[in-house]
Amino acid sequence: MKTLVIDAPAKINLCLHVLGRRSDGYHELAMAMQRIDLADRVEISLGCGKGVEVWCEGLDLDGGENIASRAARKFLREVQLSRRVSIRIDKQIPVAAGLGGGSSDAASVLTGLNRLCGQPVSLARLRELAADLGADVPFFLFERPAWATGTGTDLQPLPPLPDVCYLLLNPGIAVSTAWVYQSLQLTKGGELANLPRFSVSSVPELLASLHNDLESVTAGRYPEISEMKDFLRQQGALGTLMSGSGASVFGVFTDPAAAEKALAALPRECSWKAFVVRPLD
Protein backbone atom coordinates (compact mmCIF):
# COMPACT_ATOMS: atom_id res chain seq x y z
CA MET A 1 0.00 0.00 0.00
CA LYS A 2 1.24 3.48 -0.93
CA THR A 3 0.24 6.52 1.13
CA LEU A 4 0.50 10.26 0.56
CA VAL A 5 -0.48 13.15 2.84
CA ILE A 6 -1.49 16.49 1.32
CA ASP A 7 -2.56 19.80 2.84
CA ALA A 8 -5.84 21.00 1.30
CA PRO A 9 -6.05 24.79 1.81
CA ALA A 10 -9.15 26.93 2.17
CA LYS A 11 -9.94 29.90 -0.06
CA ILE A 12 -11.56 33.27 0.32
CA ASN A 13 -13.37 35.36 -2.27
CA LEU A 14 -11.98 38.88 -2.45
CA CYS A 15 -14.87 39.76 -4.73
CA LEU A 16 -17.85 37.85 -6.07
CA HIS A 17 -20.12 39.26 -8.76
CA VAL A 18 -23.21 37.38 -9.97
CA LEU A 19 -23.79 38.54 -13.54
CA GLY A 20 -26.96 36.57 -14.27
CA ARG A 21 -28.59 33.18 -14.60
CA ARG A 22 -27.50 30.96 -17.48
CA SER A 23 -29.77 28.89 -19.69
CA ASP A 24 -28.47 25.72 -17.99
CA GLY A 25 -29.68 26.96 -14.60
CA TYR A 26 -26.24 27.88 -13.27
CA HIS A 27 -25.13 31.44 -12.62
CA GLU A 28 -22.61 33.49 -14.56
CA LEU A 29 -19.95 34.66 -12.09
CA ALA A 30 -16.87 36.85 -11.90
CA MET A 31 -14.73 36.28 -8.79
CA ALA A 32 -11.30 36.96 -7.37
CA MET A 33 -10.16 33.94 -5.34
CA GLN A 34 -7.15 33.45 -3.09
CA ARG A 35 -5.92 30.44 -1.13
CA ILE A 36 -5.11 30.84 2.57
CA ASP A 37 -3.03 28.78 4.99
CA LEU A 38 -5.97 27.28 6.89
CA ALA A 39 -5.98 23.70 5.60
CA ASP A 40 -7.43 20.23 5.97
CA ARG A 41 -4.96 17.36 6.04
CA VAL A 42 -5.83 14.62 3.55
CA GLU A 43 -4.20 11.18 3.79
CA ILE A 44 -4.66 9.07 0.65
CA SER A 45 -3.75 5.38 0.51
CA LEU A 46 -3.77 3.21 -2.60
CA GLY A 47 -3.70 -0.55 -2.14
CA CYS A 48 -4.91 -3.93 -3.35
CA GLY A 49 -8.61 -4.64 -3.63
CA LYS A 50 -11.55 -2.53 -4.74
CA GLY A 51 -13.66 0.31 -3.39
CA VAL A 52 -13.26 3.78 -1.94
CA GLU A 53 -13.51 4.59 1.76
CA VAL A 54 -13.49 8.05 3.37
CA TRP A 55 -13.18 8.83 7.07
CA CYS A 56 -13.46 12.19 8.73
CA GLU A 57 -13.78 12.35 12.50
CA GLY A 58 -16.78 14.33 13.66
CA LEU A 59 -18.55 14.35 10.30
CA ASP A 60 -21.30 12.11 8.97
CA LEU A 61 -20.21 11.39 5.42
CA ASP A 62 -23.40 9.54 4.47
CA GLY A 63 -21.74 6.15 4.38
CA GLY A 64 -18.52 7.55 3.01
CA GLU A 65 -20.09 9.12 -0.09
CA ASN A 66 -18.97 12.71 -0.52
CA ILE A 67 -17.04 14.86 -2.99
CA ALA A 68 -13.72 13.28 -1.95
CA SER A 69 -14.97 9.75 -2.71
CA ARG A 70 -16.47 10.92 -6.00
CA ALA A 71 -13.10 12.41 -6.93
CA ALA A 72 -11.37 9.10 -6.20
CA ARG A 73 -13.86 7.09 -8.26
CA LYS A 74 -13.63 9.54 -11.15
CA PHE A 75 -9.84 9.27 -11.17
CA LEU A 76 -9.88 5.46 -11.06
CA ARG A 77 -12.31 5.36 -14.00
CA GLU A 78 -10.13 7.81 -15.92
CA VAL A 79 -7.03 5.62 -15.62
CA GLN A 80 -9.03 2.36 -15.84
CA LEU A 81 -7.56 1.14 -12.57
CA SER A 82 -9.17 -1.25 -10.10
CA ARG A 83 -7.58 -0.56 -6.70
CA ARG A 84 -8.67 0.19 -3.16
CA VAL A 85 -8.52 3.83 -2.07
CA SER A 86 -8.67 4.88 1.57
CA ILE A 87 -8.97 8.58 2.44
CA ARG A 88 -8.69 10.10 5.90
CA ILE A 89 -9.48 13.79 6.31
CA ASP A 90 -8.33 15.77 9.32
CA LYS A 91 -10.90 18.54 9.05
CA GLN A 92 -9.70 22.01 10.05
CA ILE A 93 -11.72 24.10 7.59
CA PRO A 94 -15.29 24.78 8.79
CA VAL A 95 -17.90 22.90 6.76
CA ALA A 96 -20.40 24.67 4.44
CA ALA A 97 -18.68 27.93 5.34
CA GLY A 98 -17.89 29.60 2.00
CA LEU A 99 -14.24 28.53 2.25
CA GLY A 100 -14.18 25.70 -0.29
CA GLY A 101 -13.04 22.98 2.11
CA GLY A 102 -14.81 20.10 0.36
CA SER A 103 -13.67 21.29 -3.06
CA SER A 104 -10.09 21.56 -1.84
CA ASP A 105 -10.25 18.03 -0.40
CA ALA A 106 -11.49 16.73 -3.77
CA ALA A 107 -8.69 18.52 -5.64
CA SER A 108 -6.16 17.01 -3.22
CA VAL A 109 -7.56 13.53 -3.87
CA LEU A 110 -7.16 13.99 -7.64
CA THR A 111 -3.63 15.33 -7.22
CA GLY A 112 -2.63 12.71 -4.67
CA LEU A 113 -3.90 9.72 -6.64
CA ASN A 114 -2.21 11.05 -9.75
CA ARG A 115 1.11 11.19 -7.89
CA LEU A 116 0.65 7.75 -6.35
CA CYS A 117 -0.01 6.32 -9.82
CA GLY A 118 3.02 7.95 -11.45
CA GLN A 119 1.18 10.98 -12.85
CA PRO A 120 -0.54 9.35 -15.84
CA VAL A 121 -3.06 12.21 -16.13
CA SER A 122 -2.06 15.65 -17.41
CA LEU A 123 -2.84 18.75 -15.37
CA ALA A 124 -5.18 19.96 -18.12
CA ARG A 125 -7.17 16.72 -17.93
CA LEU A 126 -7.19 16.81 -14.12
CA ARG A 127 -8.79 20.25 -14.35
CA GLU A 128 -11.48 18.83 -16.63
CA LEU A 129 -12.20 16.06 -14.12
CA ALA A 130 -12.25 18.66 -11.35
CA ALA A 131 -14.82 20.80 -13.17
CA ASP A 132 -17.19 17.82 -13.28
CA LEU A 133 -16.98 17.55 -9.49
CA GLY A 134 -17.75 21.17 -8.59
CA ALA A 135 -17.20 24.74 -9.71
CA ASP A 136 -14.52 25.52 -7.08
CA VAL A 137 -12.49 22.33 -7.52
CA PRO A 138 -10.41 23.45 -10.55
CA PHE A 139 -9.28 26.55 -8.63
CA PHE A 140 -7.47 24.40 -6.08
CA LEU A 141 -5.50 22.77 -8.90
CA PHE A 142 -4.61 26.23 -10.24
CA GLU A 143 -2.50 26.97 -7.14
CA ARG A 144 -2.39 30.76 -7.50
CA PRO A 145 -4.77 33.69 -7.04
CA ALA A 146 -7.29 33.61 -9.86
CA TRP A 147 -9.91 35.64 -11.66
CA ALA A 148 -12.71 33.10 -12.14
CA THR A 149 -15.50 33.52 -14.68
CA GLY A 150 -18.25 31.40 -16.21
CA THR A 151 -19.54 29.16 -13.44
CA GLY A 152 -16.20 29.72 -11.70
CA THR A 153 -14.18 27.19 -13.69
CA ASP A 154 -12.64 29.57 -16.24
CA LEU A 155 -9.48 30.74 -14.50
CA GLN A 156 -6.91 33.41 -15.25
CA PRO A 157 -3.96 34.25 -12.96
CA LEU A 158 -4.12 37.48 -10.99
CA PRO A 159 -1.08 39.73 -10.63
CA PRO A 160 0.66 39.76 -7.24
CA LEU A 161 -1.70 40.92 -4.49
CA PRO A 162 -0.84 43.21 -1.56
CA ASP A 163 0.86 41.62 1.45
CA VAL A 164 -1.90 41.42 4.06
CA CYS A 165 -3.25 38.98 6.61
CA TYR A 166 -6.81 38.14 7.57
CA LEU A 167 -8.76 37.42 10.74
CA LEU A 168 -11.29 34.81 9.68
CA LEU A 169 -14.46 34.28 11.72
CA ASN A 170 -17.03 31.51 11.36
CA PRO A 171 -20.21 31.31 13.46
CA GLY A 172 -20.65 27.55 13.14
CA ILE A 173 -23.62 27.89 10.80
CA ALA A 174 -23.78 25.57 7.79
CA VAL A 175 -25.08 27.62 4.87
CA SER A 176 -26.59 25.94 1.81
CA THR A 177 -25.00 27.39 -1.31
CA ALA A 178 -27.99 26.23 -3.37
CA TRP A 179 -30.38 28.12 -1.07
CA VAL A 180 -28.33 31.31 -1.31
CA TYR A 181 -28.35 31.31 -5.11
CA GLN A 182 -32.04 30.39 -5.24
CA SER A 183 -32.82 33.29 -2.90
CA LEU A 184 -30.72 35.83 -4.81
CA GLN A 185 -32.87 38.43 -6.53
CA LEU A 186 -31.22 39.43 -9.79
CA THR A 187 -32.52 42.87 -10.68
CA LYS A 188 -30.54 43.15 -13.91
CA GLY A 189 -28.18 41.09 -15.97
CA GLY A 190 -24.54 42.04 -15.81
CA GLU A 191 -21.92 41.81 -18.52
CA LEU A 192 -18.39 40.62 -17.98
CA ALA A 193 -17.14 43.09 -20.58
CA ASN A 194 -18.46 46.00 -18.49
CA LEU A 195 -17.03 44.69 -15.21
CA PRO A 196 -13.62 46.11 -14.27
CA ARG A 197 -11.02 43.34 -14.02
CA PHE A 198 -9.86 42.72 -10.45
CA SER A 199 -6.35 44.14 -10.59
CA VAL A 200 -4.98 45.58 -7.38
CA SER A 201 -1.42 46.40 -6.37
CA SER A 202 -1.99 48.31 -3.13
CA VAL A 203 -3.96 47.83 0.06
CA PRO A 204 -6.35 50.76 -0.69
CA GLU A 205 -7.13 49.22 -4.09
CA LEU A 206 -7.76 45.86 -2.45
CA LEU A 207 -10.13 47.39 0.09
CA ALA A 208 -12.02 49.26 -2.63
CA SER A 209 -12.52 46.03 -4.58
CA LEU A 210 -14.01 43.97 -1.75
CA HIS A 211 -17.52 42.98 -2.85
CA ASN A 212 -19.89 40.01 -2.58
CA ASP A 213 -23.31 39.93 -4.25
CA LEU A 214 -24.33 36.99 -2.05
CA GLU A 215 -23.67 38.71 1.27
CA SER A 216 -27.03 40.49 1.51
CA VAL A 217 -28.87 37.18 1.06
CA THR A 218 -26.98 35.27 3.74
CA ALA A 219 -26.81 38.24 6.13
CA GLY A 220 -30.55 38.74 5.75
CA ARG A 221 -31.16 35.30 7.25
CA TYR A 222 -28.21 35.08 9.63
CA PRO A 223 -27.58 38.25 11.71
CA GLU A 224 -24.27 36.76 12.84
CA ILE A 225 -22.77 37.96 9.54
CA SER A 226 -23.29 41.61 10.45
CA GLU A 227 -22.24 40.98 14.05
CA MET A 228 -18.92 39.48 12.95
CA LYS A 229 -18.27 42.32 10.52
CA ASP A 230 -19.02 44.88 13.25
CA PHE A 231 -16.60 43.13 15.61
CA LEU A 232 -13.84 43.10 12.99
CA ARG A 233 -14.28 46.80 12.24
CA GLN A 234 -14.27 47.65 15.95
CA GLN A 235 -10.98 45.76 16.29
CA GLY A 236 -9.31 47.74 13.53
CA ALA A 237 -9.91 45.68 10.39
CA LEU A 238 -9.35 47.87 7.34
CA GLY A 239 -12.08 46.09 5.42
CA THR A 240 -14.45 43.16 5.91
CA LEU A 241 -16.27 40.74 3.61
CA MET A 242 -18.23 37.50 3.67
CA SER A 243 -16.51 34.73 1.70
CA GLY A 244 -18.48 32.78 -0.90
CA SER A 245 -22.03 32.03 0.17
CA GLY A 246 -21.04 32.34 3.83
CA ALA A 247 -21.21 32.24 6.68
CA SER A 248 -17.48 32.93 7.16
CA VAL A 249 -16.34 36.56 7.28
CA PHE A 250 -12.81 37.93 7.11
CA GLY A 251 -11.20 41.20 8.14
CA VAL A 252 -8.18 42.66 6.37
CA PHE A 253 -5.11 43.66 8.42
CA THR A 254 -1.69 44.82 7.27
CA ASP A 255 -0.07 44.00 10.63
CA PRO A 256 -0.22 40.36 11.82
CA ALA A 257 0.18 41.56 15.43
CA ALA A 258 -2.97 43.66 15.04
CA ALA A 259 -4.86 40.63 13.72
CA GLU A 260 -3.66 38.56 16.69
CA LYS A 261 -4.73 41.34 19.06
CA ALA A 262 -8.19 41.35 17.48
CA LEU A 263 -8.36 37.58 17.88
CA ALA A 264 -7.48 37.91 21.57
CA ALA A 265 -10.32 40.44 21.99
CA LEU A 266 -12.97 37.82 21.30
CA PRO A 267 -14.94 37.14 24.49
CA ARG A 268 -14.22 33.77 26.05
CA GLU A 269 -17.88 32.82 25.85
CA CYS A 270 -17.99 33.57 22.12
CA SER A 271 -18.78 30.46 20.06
CA TRP A 272 -17.31 31.75 16.82
CA LYS A 273 -14.36 29.91 15.33
CA ALA A 274 -11.51 32.31 14.65
CA PHE A 275 -8.25 32.01 12.70
CA VAL A 276 -5.50 34.45 11.82
CA VAL A 277 -4.52 33.40 8.30
CA ARG A 278 -2.11 34.45 5.57
CA PRO A 279 -2.39 34.12 1.80
CA LEU A 280 -0.52 31.15 0.37
CA ASP A 281 0.37 33.00 -2.81
Kindly tell me if the per-residue pLDDT of 236 is higher than 90: yes
Q: Are 50 and 6 within 8 A, CB to CB?
A: no
Kindly tell me if the per-residue pLDDT of 80 is higher than 70: yes
Answer whether the bond into residue 10 is a cis peptide, omega within 30°.
no
**Least confidently predicted of 94-98, 109-113, 190-194:** 190-194
pLDDT average, residue stretch 259-280: 96
Question: Under CATH, which architecture does the 165-277 domain have?
Answer: 2-Layer Sandwich (3.30)
Kindly tell me if the per-residue pLDDT of 48 is higher than 70: yes
pLDDT average, residue stretch 225-245: 98
**Least confidently predicted of 24-33, 42-51, 69-78, 218-227:** 24-33
β-strand 165-170 against 249-253: which pairing, if any? antiparallel
CATH class in words for 2-157: alpha beta
More confident residue, 241 or 61: 241
pLDDT tens per residue, range 170-209: 999 999 999 999 999 875 555 655 566 677 889 999 999 9
pLDDT average, residue stretch 101-116: 97
pLDDT band, very low/low/confident/very high, at 38 (cuts 50, 70, 90): very high
pLDDT band, very low/low/confident/very high, at 20 (cuts 50, 70, 90): confident
For residue 217, the model assigns a pLDDT of 96
For residue 281, the model assigns a pLDDT of 76
Domain ranges (residues) in the chain: 2-157, 165-277
For residue 22, the model assigns a pLDDT of 83
**pTM of the shown model:** 0.93
Active site residues: 11, 136
Across the chain, mean pLDDT equals 93
Contacts of 157 (CB under 8 A, 6+ apart): 142, 144, 145, 146, 147
β-strand 249-253 against 239-242: which pairing, if any? antiparallel
Secondary structure of residue 273 in the 3-state scheme: strand
For residue 257, the model assigns a pLDDT of 98
Contacts of 161 (CB under 8 A, 6+ apart): 14, 34, 145, 200, 206, 279, 281
What pairs with residue 47 in β-bridges? 84
Give, in order, the Cα–Cα distances in Å from 150 to each of 31, 175, 192: 10, 22, 9
Counting every residue, how long is the chain?
281
pLDDT tens per residue, range 139-175: 999 989 999 999 999 999 999 999 999 999 999 999 9
For residue 36, the model assigns a pLDDT of 98
Give, in order, the Cα–Cα distances in Å from 201 to each of 30, 46, 160, 204, 236: 19, 43, 7, 9, 21
β-strand 51-55 against 84-90: which pairing, if any? parallel
For residue 194, the model assigns a pLDDT of 59
**Least confidently predicted of 25-29, 81-85, 96-100:** 25-29
Kindly tell me if the per-residue pLDDT of 133 is higher than 60: yes
Query: What proportion of the chain, given as a percentage, has pLDDT over 90?
Result: 84
Q: Give the integer Cα–Cα distance in Å for 238 and 19.
A: 27
